[in-house]
Structure 1
Amino acid sequence: MVLDGDGPVGIIAGGQDLPFEVVDALKAAGHSYLLFGIVGEADERIENHPHQWIKWGEIGLLFRVIEQHHISRLLCIGSIGARPDFRSIRLDLGAMKALPAILRIMASGGDESLLQGVAGFFEQRGVQLCSVPDVAPGLVVGDDLSLGSKLAQANEADIGLAARAAGVIGALDAGQGVVVADGRILAMEGPEGTDQMLARVAQILSEKRARWNVGKQGVLLKRARPGQDLRFDMPTIGPRTIENAKKAGLAGIVCAQGEVLCANRQLSLEIARKSGLFLQARKLEDISL
């Protein structure tokens, strides 16, 4: 773990378990922390930790607390159920003062440009944005994530097609995941996210709009967008992903090594094992395209 600077690490926390897994990694390494829980997104468990609740638009409050606690490093982690409707957000005084900069960021283009603008906004105010690999490298999938190798080998052609398709949509700043079964692209991830994409595949299966050998064919491949800033929106799988892949009739999941987070790893592996799904981390360059 490589962290520069003094003071606690600030964690802007969305939903689910990853913020707390990051907290565990920080505590194990002897680092202090403070959770900023996004109202309506973060889990109530943050009440058991040093924390500050913040609403969308409370930028002034965020920076006041950052200054009070001498926070110079900040991490954004956790799920966001829906992008905020900025038209309905009430900006606090600090946000109003920063409004010209915020508007420039919002007008900057696609997701990657937007996120780079956010990073610059914080860095200009003396706050270094960290990535999960900086803070909790154990959450990033490596070659130790390997379950069901024989079943994965039987799906190599689909894995290759999924890797090619994921590279294309990622280069277009459009998504981080693809589902392929029996040589056919069934779904490519868009703004809806992985769970909703898998729900679409499950519907395709139930309506018999495509056919494949359920449980023996079909793969979800997750990877970062080419050139993606891993300080934001790292692709993530977890128990729910695996359960939804099972409902979608897939044989397994492949993640790009070093680019994807696995939440609740032991539980994820246990669910995959009981469900008969393969779960693999691969170097993209080793996949036959």
Structure 2
Amino acid sequence: MSGQDQVEKLGLIAGNGRFPFLLLDAARANGLQVVVAAINEETDPEMNDRAAADSGIRVHWLSLGELSKLIDTLRGEGITRAVMAGQVKHKQIFSSIRPDWRLAKLLLSLRTRNTDMLLGAIAKVLGDEGIELISSTQYLEPLLAKAGVLTRRQPDGEELKDIAYGRTVAQAIATYDLGQTVVVAAQACVAVEAMEGTDATISRAGELFRTLDSGGETTLRRALTVVKVAKPNQDMRFDVPVVGVATIEAMKAAGATCLAVEAERTLMFDPEAILKTADEAGISIIAK
């Protein structure tokens, strides 16, 4: 048996954004050979460049909906452990895909068509095929938000009230897999995340406030607090709460001044850049 054959392999089912690349780097740093199942509609083409520069990375491209091809690819590579990393847009999952027979059968079997139900069913199918789906944070624990105020500025009294109210609302909607983020002002819910994602929700809240301003007086304080939570029974194998620099940029544009996340259950991509951007904008970040 060659040295290459003895190297432990990890399957990486890659969605969009930087998450797959962060996990890829972490897995390679742990000495794993990585076989990437890249999604045509989602994964950054940069993945090909990474594979070209590193013989320990192999990339297979497939379309969203090709569940049988995914299984055949991973099994053909001898994969017994895999991880999902990177978002697949919710609207893609339930509208744009052309499912193969295996995924079509799975979709028809779902009681409700939400993301958790679908991904949980896919995880079970993979498990039945001898492929264990592991936590997406397994190699990224240093990026999980630590408890406490993470920025120079502490939340003020009004922001703390908004956080307390926002957590109650966000945890309620997360139970139904509607989203994990709410935007609050003066203990009033301005925007609730649905299929559009966190950053788009923040932008929508900002647009609403600008509309209110143009229409005259509003009793709401001119500052928004963003609250992001994990689901009550968060499956850390997929759909883990994530924030990045783009989140802070969206907050700046919307006029949001505070971000609250769940400690040890939220991934912060490039935390140094996140905190630097937040400090420069006077945005407070707290994890609890």
1:84 aligned to which of 92, 102, 112: 92
Give me the TM-score of the superposition, normalised by structure 1.
Answer: 0.85
Which whole-Å CA distance do the structure 1 matches of 2:152 and 2:29 have between them? 31
Change in 2 beyond 3 A, CA 1:161/1:31:
same
User: Is 1:138 aligned to residue 142 of structure 2?
Assistant: yes
Secondary structure at the counterpart of residue 133 of structure 1: coil
Residue 17 (structure 2) aligns with: 16
2:166 aligned to which of 158, 162, 167: 162
Question: Percent sequence identity over matched residues?
Answer: 26
Residue 285 (structure 1) aligns with: none
For residues 72-107 of structure 1, give each alpha carbon's deviation from its aligned partner in whole angstroms, at most 9, with x where no partner exists: 11111112245336676455xxx43x3574244444
Residue 177 (structure 2) aligns with: 173
Of 257-266 and 11-20, the range deviating more from structure 2: 257-266
Cα deviation for residue 156 of structure 1 reads 1.0
Give me the TM-score of the superposition, normalised by structure 2.
Answer: 0.85
For residues 206-256 of structure 1, give each alpha carbon's deviation from its aligned partner in whole angstroms, at most 9, with x where no partner exists: 112645554xx4311111111121211111111111111111111111110
> Which ranges of structure 1 fall in alignment gaps of 5 or more residues?
283-289
Give the conservation status (yes or no) of the 8 Å contact 2:153–2:282: no
User: Is 1:116 aligned to residue 112 of structure 2?
Assistant: no
For residues 34-63 of structure 1, give each alpha carbon's deviation from its aligned partner in whole angstroms, at most 9, with x where no partner exists: 221110211111012221111123223222
Cα deviation for residue 257 of structure 1 reads 0.8
Secondary structure at the counterpart of residue 134 of structure 1: coil
Cα deviation for residue 131 of structure 1 reads 1.4
User: Is 1:227 aligned to residue 233 of structure 2?
Assistant: yes
Change in 2 beyond 3 A, CA 1:152/1:23:
farther
> Which ranges of structure 2 fall in alignment gaps of 5 or more residues?
1-5, 52-56
Give the conservation status (yes or no) of the 8 Å contact 1:105–1:118: no
Give the conservation status (yes or no) of the 8 Å contact 1:6–1:72: no
5 Å-filtered alignment, 1:249-268, equals: 249-268=255-274
Aligned length: 272
User: Is 1:57 aligned to residue 26 of structure 2?
Assistant: no
Give the conservation status (yes or no) of the 8 Å contact 2:42–2:88: yes
5 Å-filtered alignment, 1:71-110, equals: 71-81=79-89, 83-84=91-92, 89-91=97-99, 95-96=100-101, 98=102, 101-110=105-114
Letter in 1 for 2:171: G
Change in 2 beyond 3 A, CA 1:155/1:86:
closer
1:68 aligned to which of 69, 76, 83: 76
Give the conservation status (yes or no) of the 8 Å contact 1:212–1:218: no
Which whole-Å CA distance do the structure 2 matches of 1:89 and 1:162 have between them? 34
Letter in 1 for 2:61: W
